[in-house]
Amino acid sequence: MEKRLLIVDGLNLIRRLYAALESEQDMVRRIERTQSISIDALMKLMQQFAPTHAVVVFDSSGKTWRHKLYPEYKLGRVPMDDALLDSLNGFAKVFRYNGIHCLRLAGWEADDVIATLAFKSAKQEVKSYIVSTDKGFTQLLDNEFILQYDYFAKLGYDKVWVPGKYGVEPSMLTDYWALVGDTTNRVPGVKGIGPKTALSVMEKHRTIEEIYNNLVDYPARTQSLLSGGYEQCLLSRQLVALRVDVNIGVRLSQLAYLP
């Protein structure tokens, strides 16, 4: 039987379902309803993808390596409601009760854990379906064994979709985001470089190193915008690039889904 791994970005799913219940004033009831709807969503995903293996990945609490590298990372983002934050262990218990494995690693964002799971599974030619609305995962889609699914939009993303959305191949996205920035996570780009200019820059040279080694190939105005931004671009690219080398300590066989 062909192996298929379903990887769910836990907080990405839960927070959106929780937000949809903002009219519920009773916080205990709101949490309970969110848990119930979350289980319904997971069961629908199981039916849709029929995975042989499945896991819900949660962010760890506290700061990660990105915060140490760049203290302003995610600064100013709306914090999670305390009631929801305090209930996350309860969500994990409910998920496990329904036969779905949960994973959280101290000091790591869920994004890096998810990317590592998908990447290592792909090396074994196991297809992974990442369930998340987070655009960061699209950088992984150059691999034919990694796909992304937006549960809320009911849309699947693959390597063919990426150029139509961003204008560049998946393998070029981290360099592209290094130029334009990632406002969601407060990662800066080059001032004055928007998507259109970034694409024109990357038409000639694909990587940050190639771009800055060949500034003379660009018009004077573009050179002026890029000038002095090399180190910032390298830092931004490091911040937006997902890690695929996390020591998770879990084998694929331990994530088997038995409905």
Q: End-to-end CA distance of the chain, in Å?
A: 16
Q: Are residues 120 and 145 in the same domain?
A: yes
User: DSSP letters of the chain?
Assistant: ---EEEEEEHHHHHHHHHHTTTT---HHHHHHHHHHHHHHHHHHHHHHH--SEEEEE-PPSS--HHHHH-TTTTTTPPPPPHHHHHTHHHHHHHHHHTT-EEE--TT--HHHHHHHHHHHHHHTT-EEEEE---GGGGGGTTSTTEEEEETTTTEEE-TTHHHHHHSS-GGGHHHHHHHH-BGGGTB---TT--HHHHHHHHHH--SHHHHHHTGGGS-HHHHHHHTT-HHHHHHHHHHHSPPS-------GGGGB---
State the pLDDT at residue 75.
85
Phi, psi angles (nearest 5°) of residue 27: -65, -35
Q: Are residues 72 and 124 in the same domain?
A: yes
Q: Residue 48's domain is classified under what CATH number?
A: 3.40.50.1010
Q: Is residue 249 part of a domain?
A: no
State the pLDDT at residue 77.
82
Q: Are residues 90 and 195 in the same domain?
A: no
State the pLDDT at residue 259.
80
Q: Are residues 146 and 200 in the same domain?
A: no
The residues near 58 (Cβ < 8 Å, ≥ 6 apart) are 10, 11, 88, 92, 102, 103, 104, 110
> What is the domain count for the chain?
2
Q: Are residues 197 and 100 in the same domain?
A: no
Q: Are residues 104 and 27 in the same domain?
A: yes
Q: How far is CA 248 from the centre of its chain?
A: 17
Walking along the chain (259 residues) 10 residues at a time, the average pLDDT comes out as: 95 97 94 97 97 96 91 87 92 95 95 98 97 98 98 97 96 98 94 96 97 97 96 97 97 93
State the pLDDT at residue 67.
93
State the pLDDT at residue 76.
79
Q: Is residue 247 part of a domain?
A: no
Q: Are residues 189 and 145 in the same domain?
A: no
Q: Answer yes or no: are the C-beta atoms of 181 and 236 closer than 8 Å.
A: yes
Q: Are residues 206 and 118 in the same domain?
A: no
